[in-house]
Amino acid sequence: MDRKEKLLYAFRSVLRPRQVQGGYFFSAEAIEELVATRDAGLDASLAYGYLSEVMQTAGSAADFAYLLPALLERWSRNAASMPDWNDALVAALAKSHLLDDYLTYSQREAALEFIRAVILEHMDRTLDELGCPPARWPAAFELVHGYGVYAQEVDRLWRLWWDSPEEGRAGMKVAYLSCLVLDDTPNPVLLRSGVPDSAAVLLNLATKVPPLRWHEANVTILKQAPHPENVQRQVQEVAAGGGPASEIASLVHVTLVKEPWRFEIRAEDLTRYLAAGARSAAVAWRA
Question: Mean pLDDT over residues 36-61, rounded?
Answer: 76
Closest CA to 28 of 42, 38, 18: 18
Taking CA 136 as the corner, what is the angle to CA 189 and CA 145, rounded to the nearest 5 degrees?
90
Q: Is the pLDDT of residue 203 over 70?
A: no
Q: What is the mean pLDDT of residues 119-139?
A: 66
Angle ∠(88,125,268) on CA atoms, nearest 5: 60
pLDDT of residue 108: 93
Report residue 150's pLDDT band, with 50, 70 and 90 as the boundaries: confident
The model's pTM is: 0.86
CB 89 within 8 A of CB 131: no
